[in-house]
Amino acid sequence: MIIAIKRGAGAAEVEAFSALLEKRGVGVHLSRGTGQTVLGLVGDTTAIDAETLLAHHLVEKVIRVQEPYKRANRLFHPDDTRIEVEVPGGFRRVGGGCLGVMAGPCSVENRDQIVAVARAVKEAGAGFLRGGAFKPRTSPYSFQGLGPEGLDLLVEAKKETGLPIVTELMDIHHLELFEDVDIIQVGARNMQNFTLLRELGRGGKPVLLKRGYASTITELLMAAEYVMSGGNSRIILCERGIRSFDPYTRNTLDLSAVPALKRQSHLPVIVDPSHATGLAWMVPAMAKAALAAGADGLIIEVHNNPEAALCDGEQSITPEVFASLMGTLRKIAAIEGKTIEGKTL
Amino acid sequence: MIIAIKRGAGAAEVEAFSALLEKRGVGVHLSRGTGQTVLGLVGDTTAIDAETLLAHHLVEKVIRVQEPYKRANRLFHPDDTRIEVEVPGGFRRVGGGCLGVMAGPCSVENRDQIVAVARAVKEAGAGFLRGGAFKPRTSPYSFQGLGPEGLDLLVEAKKETGLPIVTELMDIHHLELFEDVDIIQVGARNMQNFTLLRELGRGGKPVLLKRGYASTITELLMAAEYVMSGGNSRIILCERGIRSFDPYTRNTLDLSAVPALKRQSHLPVIVDPSHATGLAWMVPAMAKAALAAGADGLIIEVHNNPEAALCDGEQSITPEVFASLMGTLRKIAAIEGKTIEGKTL
Amino acid sequence: MIIAIKRGAGAAEVEAFSALLEKRGVGVHLSRGTGQTVLGLVGDTTAIDAETLLAHHLVEKVIRVQEPYKRANRLFHPDDTRIEVEVPGGFRRVGGGCLGVMAGPCSVENRDQIVAVARAVKEAGAGFLRGGAFKPRTSPYSFQGLGPEGLDLLVEAKKETGLPIVTELMDIHHLELFEDVDIIQVGARNMQNFTLLRELGRGGKPVLLKRGYASTITELLMAAEYVMSGGNSRIILCERGIRSFDPYTRNTLDLSAVPALKRQSHLPVIVDPSHATGLAWMVPAMAKAALAAGADGLIIEVHNNPEAALCDGEQSITPEVFASLMGTLRKIAAIEGKTIEGKTL
Amino acid sequence: MIIAIKRGAGAAEVEAFSALLEKRGVGVHLSRGTGQTVLGLVGDTTAIDAETLLAHHLVEKVIRVQEPYKRANRLFHPDDTRIEVEVPGGFRRVGGGCLGVMAGPCSVENRDQIVAVARAVKEAGAGFLRGGAFKPRTSPYSFQGLGPEGLDLLVEAKKETGLPIVTELMDIHHLELFEDVDIIQVGARNMQNFTLLRELGRGGKPVLLKRGYASTITELLMAAEYVMSGGNSRIILCERGIRSFDPYTRNTLDLSAVPALKRQSHLPVIVDPSHATGLAWMVPAMAKAALAAGADGLIIEVHNNPEAALCDGEQSITPEVFASLMGTLRKIAAIEGKTIEGKTL
């Protein structure tokens, strides 16, 4: 961290300020030029808050050279992290050359629906079944998901197909209901629900952490750091669109987040083209683009009857479209020397 | 709600679609013009999700005429709601011509600090004491607030000064600790923590609901609707800055949200210039502008020693600046025929 | 400007890089700490492009301490600039305690309309008449303004009322038509039309420079710098709303730009609440807030028959609303010890 | 276009309003339901401004069913437009299955540089040479390009290599200098320079129209419509990043614009990953993603010595990286059944 001191600051007060900083456990290297005095902080500066420093009357600007995250930082963990989930006869993996494709309906609606979709996406080559039991909805009057019953139905679909399941946790006090869930999703609106993140850090289940729709790359990695600081490093990051000024798509899928996150962090990064665009017809194009950009996987909404879906039907593709898409995705994966984990066709 | 039907749709399938909609409890008025077929939905359309309708192959566009919120809607509740909090010898009020000014430090740090600030802001005419005990921080390595001890110190400051207190709740399971708190703050990051909102709806304490930094006016009102749908209508809305592309200020204070929210809703609306700008020197200008725009109050960070603050010092003003500001704010209030509730000077 | 050098850089190559920088006319102060090598650049760094430096393999980060603008910078010109325009019997001024209120229709439509509106706004106390002759319209099929005839009608209205006129120039080759125009407006879409800015810098007429709807504070000041670098310092800056994610208002009026611009620059700053909000009913609230935030004036759309306006009627207020608003604006100005220039009532 | 009428409007005034609309050349179909009166406008509504309608006291909401652009609209021109440029021995094409890759330096610096880069990118398979002679720079003190001399050098490089050239026009009065230029680029900052667009519409040269960094899909298509309304339909649209809140990349590359533009319009769409990200290391990932998303081509900055570039070096890739990238791009093109136009390897 580098601190530019305001012009005209006296030597004594700058030294007193340096001493104050050293008490916080960092080394301070003072450099006084003709036009500018600069303090260089060395050591672990993650606990030093740049904004707080700016309150000091001597401080002109602060520049962070070291990132504020440690455990999520590729600098200290150069190899890709691979998340592994047990499946009958082995493991399903995401990261480090293994692509995870998670597919299924926005909401679990009933047994027939979830089992039918699970079979269809497995057949097409998906590696994981996604489906919502607890749904965060903007309106209190909208369908909020089946709740615990939805979880039970997901587990039944898992038994039927062998597909590991991914579903969203909205309230940490539901955690015990999630025992048979393979990957716990933290939704975009909860990315900075620090209470939730801390608790998930104490457990050992993989966490699918979605980027908030107005969160920066750094904030997403700091959210991961909350989980990791509790001891749980099994995290999959997920880009799902950010808010912009153009209403054409629901959100703006920020695919540059993929190479950005993979450069900054060793954690796997997947993409959700369904929620990002909100438009079923656009999902295949953006799914292909995500893999070409280097994503470690995808999470895609597939519904056997999108028109009758209880939520988000406008962004769900049919099993037929999904199967066709998977064919192209395998070709793109092959170009990059990667493999989509799932049923071998 | 008006639904534009795609060109070329057959009469029979449009009628089948109408029948489907009527089953959801709304009336459907079908209008078939030469160039365009339109369905007009009448009745309570709040439970009908426009995005879900868009999944239907007959639907071209959907336009909501009625807002999706009911209890928060000024249409059904034309008079201003006024939130009242008991103080020794009477009530302190926000809304309906009564301006509430809430002032205090970002974080409660120790007894001396919070009592000193409380006395100073009371003296200057603040009506409420604000201070954080549980702090949502981007980094797990930053100071997270004193927690329960911070709440105790706030209550002590309340006893010393008579000022009602406002502080943030981050975890609904801390609710029992908030018994002596007068107004419970829901922070911007939790504006769509629907679990938290629902629970607060079951209680009776006033809720200060901050707008998420990437939330629309409608989403903020839908968050209020979550609380209100549980039976608690004692809500104060708070504009605290939205994310934009310009790094000059931390966020962009959206003062147009004040007249917008007051037109759409009967709930009182206050403004937080401190978090919005992140710059202490800018707080007075934006505080004055907020009242001139019609706000029902302000929440302002005041610290007796901003340079030594454990968080957000760069946005805290001193008690002296606050006292001077209050003088000008009273003049602006007078122009609008409103009164700042607090110590009469 | 401070340059943080990447770890592991050799001493020889850092010195070679320093020498390269010195050739560009700045002094370089090298500071090598245990953990971080830093170069401090002193002298005039305005011509050094931070982004270009980042291409060098030795450079980790670049921090600008000095702003990239000089002539627009308050640091080198501490006193407020006041723009003066000749009127019968004296001058009308904007800046330095004098508030300029510019009012009139979006477009000049015909002689009766522009003269009637001019009289009405003069009567209410406006200091300047605004009106569009050349209109930048998103659609090539929309009304594009009356062109030269519109300018003639504005000049007639000026003769009738004595009000100086403000109108937009879209093409530098129209400049000769603007001889009788008092203030030339550069619209938001042309804020970075560098060809136009350079040419206006060669003239001597005051320029009303509107902030682009996605331009930062720094970019607006750099646009002013383009004009000023040609020798013309008679610039009025104008905040007119930025793009955000919320469709409630057309743009988001960024009133924090007012104190920001006034801190960074000596140029006067006015606000356009009409284009920012696009909603006539919201204009009075935002106009009041703008003055309370410290603006040096306002530019407001007033139309004698908004419903029949050929453009932007939904954001025009009537002369009656304007007159009532002026009464309140005078009171807010008085609180700040400022005067609205115009007809004394 | 559908107009929702406010509740309580009288039958007579609604009919008067309908008559007013019919005078503007559209048919009006009035539908009066129990709860809502709706007007459906049929015919050519492109000249009717939705915002102007909102000023009318009877109007509650306006919904556009038909897009406001005609000539750019795929609805009226279902087949892909293919832009053809003459080259020695034939044509180089963009659109309709032919991918155009334009590569070269940000700025033309000298003869050796531009010829060397032109040869290198031709060798790697680029179809067009890009390079800036007139540069729009944020600062008046930055290098502004070589101007006419830069154009001459580009033409020399064209003669040496046979590559058609693409370069930016900033001032319509330079048009005569562009005779030997094959494709005229309109930069993002000039996307709504309507004067420039109109003039280019009168000529016959292909126009590369870059999306403004805060422009919507619709606004970009309306800018194309300006050119097309003058008679010139040879337009290539270009996505080059939009402004968002995250400073990690210079802008946010919006790849969903590719399928969006191709659905709405028949014009070819290319992507500029260099300006969007501002980061050379990120360019290959985003270039691959752009083709996978369905783009008709790319425009990429390539410099033989990025560290010494006079502008934008941090986003330029070397000829070696470009050649390697082209190999992968050909594979992605093949998956989609498309061909990159250029030297056959």
CB contact under 8 A, C194 and D137: yes
What are residue C271's phi and psi, to 5 degrees?
-130, 140
CB contact under 8 A, A214 and B243: yes
Q: Which residues of B touch D61 (CB under 8 A)?
A: 2, 63, 65
CB contact under 8 A, D139 and C52: no
**What's the gap between Cα C183 and its chain centre?**
12
Sheet holding B59-63, edge to edge: B27-32, B37-42, B2-5, B59-63
**Residue A42: strand pairing partners:** A27
Q: How many angstroms separate the CA atoms of A195 and D227, rounded?
A: 54
In terms of Cα–Cα distance, which of D284, D262, D283, D266 is closest to D332?
A: D284
Place of tokens 């531009």: D114
User: What is the DSSP secondary-structure string of C262-291?
Assistant: HHHBSS-EEE-HHHHH--GGGHHHHHHHHH
Q: How many angstroms separate the CA atoms of B278 and C173, rounded?
A: 44
Please answer whether residues D135 and D149 qualify as being in contact, where contact means their C-beta atoms are separated by less than 8 angstroms.
no
Please answer whether residues B244 and D245 qualify as being in contact, where contact means their C-beta atoms are separated by less than 8 angstroms.
yes
**Residue A90: strand pairing partners:** A87
Query: Which residues contact residue A113 at a Cβ distance below 8 angstroms, ignoring those fewer than 6 apart?
Result: A105, A304
Query: Measuring CA to CA, how many Å separate A253 from each of A336, B6, D275, D286?
Result: 22, 27, 18, 13
Residue C211 has pLDDT above 80, yes or no: yes
CB contact under 8 A, B34 and D27: yes
Neighbours of chain B (3+ CB pairs under 8 A): A, C, D
Stated as kind and residue range, the H or E segment containing D294 is none
Total beta-carbon pairs less than 8 A apart between chain A and chain B: 119
Per mean pLDDT, which range of A272-286, B295-309, C56-70 is the poorest? C56-70
User: What is the DSSP secondary-structure string of D36-67?
Assistant: -EEEEEES--TTS-HHHHHTSTTEEEEE--S-
In terms of Cα–Cα distance, which of D315, D254, D242 is closest to D290?
A: D254
Residue A149 has pLDDT above 90, yes or no: yes
Nearest CB to C335: which of B218, B293, B332?
B332
The answer for B4, left when phi > 0, alpha when psi is -120 to 50, beta otherwise, is beta
Residue B267's pLDDT band (boundaries 50, 70, 90)? Answer: very high
Place of tokens 């089992």: A115
Residue C30's pLDDT band (boundaries 50, 70, 90)? Answer: confident
Residue D261 has pLDDT above 90, yes or no: yes
In terms of Cα–Cα distance, which of C317, C295, C290, C271 is closest to C106?
A: C317
Query: Measuring CA to CA, how many Å separate D237 from each of C247, D260, D264?
Result: 26, 12, 12
CATH class of A2-63: alpha beta
Q: Work out the average pLDDT over B26-42.
A: 80
What pLDDT is stored for residue D295 in this prediction?
A: 98
Q: Which residues of C touch D138 (CB under 8 A)?
A: 68, 192, 219, 222
CB contact under 8 A, B33 and D40: yes
Output the CA angle A68-A74-A77, nearest 5 degrees: 115
**Tens-place pLDDT, residues D95-142:** 999 999 999 999 999 999 999 999 999 999 999 999 999 998 888 988
What pLDDT is stored for residue D42 in this prediction?
A: 80
Helices (H), chain D: 11-22, 50-54, 111-124, 148-161, 194-202, 217-229, 257-264, 273-277, 283-292, 319-335
Q: Work out the average pLDDT over D137-150.
A: 91
Give domain limits for chain A.
Answer: 2-63, 74-340
Neighbours of chain D (3+ CB pairs under 8 A): A, B, C
Q: Work out the average pLDDT over A53-66.
A: 85
What pLDDT is stored for residue C34 in this prediction?
A: 62
- ipTM of the complex as predicted: 0.94
Q: Work out the average pLDDT over C111-115.
A: 96
**Burial per residue of B220-243, b for 16 or more beta-carbon CB atoms within 10 angstroms, e otherwise:** bbbbbbbbbbbebbbbbbbbbbbb
Residue A34's pLDDT band (boundaries 50, 70, 90)? Answer: low
Radius of gyration for the alpha carbons in chain A, expressed in angstroms and rounded:
23
The tokens of D37 are what?
């009166």
Exposed/middle/buried for residue A179 (C-beta within 10 Å: 0-12, 13-18, 19+)? exposed
Neighbours of chain A (3+ CB pairs under 8 A): B, C, D
What are residue D100's phi and psi, to 5 degrees?
-105, 125
Q: What share of chain D is helix, strand, coil (3-state, %, to 5)?
A: 35, 20, 40
What 8-state DSSP symbol labels residue B190? G
Is the minimum CB–CB distance between C324 and chain B shorter than 8 Å? Answer: no
What pLDDT is stored for residue D33 in this prediction?
A: 67
CB contact under 8 A, C285 and B216: no
Pairing of strands D165-168, D183-186: parallel
**Tens-place pLDDT, residues A299-327:** 999 999 888 777 777 889 999 999 999 99
What pLDDT is stored for residue D145 in this prediction?
A: 93
Residue B253 has pLDDT above 90, yes or no: yes
**Tens-place pLDDT, residues C135-182:** 988 889 888 899 999 999 999 999 999 999 999 999 998 999 999 999
Residue B246 has pLDDT above 90, yes or no: yes
What pLDDT is stored for residue B189 in this prediction?
A: 94
Is the minimum CB–CB distance between A214 and chain B shorter than 8 Å? Answer: yes
Q: Which residues of A touch B137 (CB under 8 A)?
A: 194
Q: How many angstroms separate the CA atoms of A256 and A289, rounded?
A: 11
What are residue C3's phi and psi, to 5 degrees?
-115, 120
What pLDDT is stored for residue A130 in this prediction?
A: 97
Length of chain B: 345
Q: Which residues of A touch D258 (CB under 8 A)?
A: 285
Please answer whether residues B307 and A56 qualify as being in contact, where contact means their C-beta atoms are separated by less than 8 angstroms.
yes
Is the minimum CB–CB distance between B186 and chain A shorter than 8 Å? Answer: no
Q: Is the dihedral of CA C324, C330, C333, C339 positive or negative?
A: positive
Chain C residue with Cα closest to A38:
C40
Nearest CB to D285: which of A249, A258, A276?
A258
The tokens of B210 are what?
């901050």
**Tens-place pLDDT, residues B123-132:** 999 999 999 9
The span from the first CA to the last CA of chain C, in angstroms, equals: 52
The tokens of D176 are what?
């005569």
CB within 8 Å of chain C, chain A residues 25-84: 27, 29, 31, 33-36, 38, 40, 42-43, 60-61, 63, 65
Residue C343's pLDDT band (boundaries 50, 70, 90)? Answer: confident
Count Cβ atoms below 10 Å from residue B219 Cβ, excluding itself.
18
Q: Which fold has domain D74-340?
A: TIM Barrel (3.20.20)
Stated as kind and residue range, the H or E segment containing C235 is strand C235-239
Please answer whether residues D263 and D130 qualify as being in contact, where contact means their C-beta atoms are separated by less than 8 angstroms.
no
**Tens-place pLDDT, residues A225-276:** 999 999 999 999 999 999 999 999 999 999 999 999 999 999 999 999 999 9
Q: Which residues of A touch B170 (CB under 8 A)?
A: 194-195
The tokens of D123 are what?
């060798």
**Tens-place pLDDT, residues A172-200:** 989 999 999 999 999 999 999 999 999 99
Residue C35's pLDDT band (boundaries 50, 70, 90)? Answer: low
Residue D344's pLDDT band (boundaries 50, 70, 90)? Answer: low
What pLDDT is stored for residue B31 in this prediction?
A: 79
What pLDDT is stored for residue D10 in this prediction?
A: 87
Q: How many angstroms separate the CA atoms of B92 and C253, rounded?
A: 32
Helix pair angle (B257-264, B217-229), 10° resolution: 40
What 8-state DSSP symbol labels residue A41? E
What pLDDT is stored for residue A45 in this prediction?
A: 83
What pLDDT is stored for residue D307 in this prediction?
A: 81
Is the minimum CB–CB distance between C244 and chain A shorter than 8 Å? Answer: yes
Residue C40 has pLDDT above 70, yes or no: yes
Exposed/middle/buried for residue B62 (C-beta within 10 Å: 0-12, 13-18, 19+)? buried
**Tens-place pLDDT, residues D33-88:** 666 788 888 888 887 888 788 888 899 888 888 889 999 999 999 999 999 999 99
Q: Work out the average pLDDT over C308-323.
A: 87
What pLDDT is stored for residue A35 in this prediction?
A: 67
Q: How many angstroms separate the CA atoms of A255 and B74, rounded?
A: 41
Residue C36 has pLDDT above 80, yes or no: no
Is the minimum CB–CB distance between C140 and chain D shorter than 8 Å? Answer: yes
Query: Measuring CA to CA, how many Å separate A50 from each of A8, A62, A64?
Result: 22, 6, 8
Q: Which residues of A touch D242 (CB under 8 A)?
A: 244-246, 252
Query: Which residues contact residue C201 at a Cβ distance below 8 angstroms, ignoring those fewer than 6 apart?
Result: C226, C227, C228, C229, C230, C231, C232
One-letter amino acid at A92 equals R
Q: Which residues of B touch D27 (CB under 8 A)?
A: 34-35
Q: Work out the average pLDDT over A54-65.
A: 86
CB contact under 8 A, C285 and B259: yes
Q: Which residues of A touch B140 (CB under 8 A)?
A: 194, 198, 222, 225-226, 229
Total beta-carbon pairs less than 8 A apart between chain B and chain C: 113
Place of tokens 């104060």: B236
Chain B residue with Cα closest to D60:
B65
Q: Work out the average pLDDT over D251-272.
A: 98
Q: How many angstroms separate the CA atoms of A169 and A166, rounded?
A: 10
What pLDDT is stored for residue C205 in this prediction?
A: 96
Q: How many angstroms separate the CA atoms of A263 and A275, rounded?
A: 24
**Tens-place pLDDT, residues A275-285:** 999 999 999 99
Stated as kind and residue range, the H or E segment containing A101 is strand A98-104
Is the minimum CB–CB distance between A8 and chain C shorter than 8 Å? Answer: no
What pLDDT is stored for residue B79 in this prediction?
A: 97
Alpha carbons within 13 angstroms on the beta-carbon side of residue A142 total 24
- The four Cα atoms B270, B276, B277, B283 give a dihedral, to 10 degrees, of 20
**Burial per residue of C201-221, b for 16 or more beta-carbon CB atoms within 10 angstroms, e otherwise:** bebebbbbbbbbbbbbbbbbb
SS3 B250: coil
Q: Work out the average pLDDT over D247-263.
A: 97
What pLDDT is stored for residue C313 in this prediction?
A: 76
Stated as kind and residue range, the H or E segment containing C212 is none
Q: Work out the average pLDDT over D240-255.
A: 96
CB contact under 8 A, C141 and D278: no
Residue C52's pLDDT band (boundaries 50, 70, 90)? Answer: confident
